Structure 1
Amino acid sequence: MMYQRHSQDRGYAEFGGWLKSHHTFSFSDYHDPRFMGFRDLRVINQDWIARDSGFPAHPHRDMEIITYVLQGEVAHQDSLGNQGTIKAGEIQVMHAGTGIRHGEFNPSKTEDLQLFQIWILPDKVGVAPGYTQASFTREEKLNRLRLLVSRDGREGSQKIHQDVDMYACILEPGHMIGFDIRPERALWLQVAEGDLKVNDKVMKSGDGMAIEDEKHIKIEASAESEFLLFDLR
């Protein structure tokens, strides 16, 4: 089964000109009982944050929160004392656990910020909050799936409290990659930018796809494309 979630069908919110956000799954004031998440994947928001703007400090708990920067950079500060800047191609991972407060800001005076904010349900609640960030080069993701996040931290990926593998790929036109799906596992594929063909289905920028009860997928690009792939239990 391959169910495609078209970009234009996502939820949408805009706040005062400084934030535009597309919601793949129900989030905040956008609620659709058909799209409450997919397996342990709870939120995929694609956010555009205007220059010199951002989110003030706000709380989270009992959630694995991943930020994947597509354009620009985000300044981060949290209640654990972490401060830093995450640039395009980098990710940050927060274990909200028993509670964490953080703020995110676009410090640029000239460039808008674009990112994916991803929430994954943890396999246990009440863990100690934590924070990591990592950089992955374009070359690491070019025409191959680069593991960014996993439960065991293998291959230099960032650890989370859930049996989910998250990959990123930049696929050049004319290139193809395949992925074998383990029994009882499922995939979610999210396109950031580009034009893909996944088996016999065409995907465009912003499209997502749930993939269940399949043994193998083949991903081809007709234009340079960047996407995330989640392997879920």
Structure 2
Amino acid sequence: MNQHNTILQAMTDTGMIPVFNHKDIEVSKSVLKSAYEAGVRVFEFTNREENAFEVFKALKIYSEQFEGLYLGIGTIFTVSDAQRFNFAGADFIVSPALIPEVAHFCNMKGMLWVPGCATVSEVFQAKSYGAKLVKAFPGNLLGAGFIKAIKSIMPDVKMMPTGGVEPTEENLSEWFASGVHCVGMGSQLFDKKIIESGQYEILQEKINATIALIKTIRS
């Protein structure tokens, strides 16, 4: 099984990819550790803070101790950023948009890349560039109906909504009923107050409960 399929399988197994960024390296490490201990095996750090590259490099080294954990980078708009993070050891690359040159770079490097798409044309384009997983973004604007429509005409496309996905039974049931491969979850999962006060055991419980909820919904 090649690494692409291994990562996709890990995404299927938990059904949820945490999407996180923070400018503090120690906070980021604690969040990653909590997520791993809660059952997360694929984690997306995003390139949003000015020092994101430094934090990611430290996080990548730190993550080596967690067996079976894949750490990717999100919010990638340019080939130069894709290059830097590839060099830093990112396991996969996620973009908010469909960017042909990033697609070509990742294909050349044999890296799993996940483009953000919001129309049928973009999803088709992503598929023709060889995307194995497509991010429906922004998820809260597109809704589960968008996933259903895509799956009805391109049933083999794996979709991951990100943006506005909530860790509630009602919201997750709707997404999984539409046929998503997994969901990306950011601010709804990572309560700023909990992180600021260092209550990582509460964070771990929340992530664990979300993974358990997804398992229940799917069965």
Normalising by structure 1, what TM-score? 0.32
Higher helix share: 2
Higher strand share: 1
Normalising by structure 2, what TM-score? 0.33
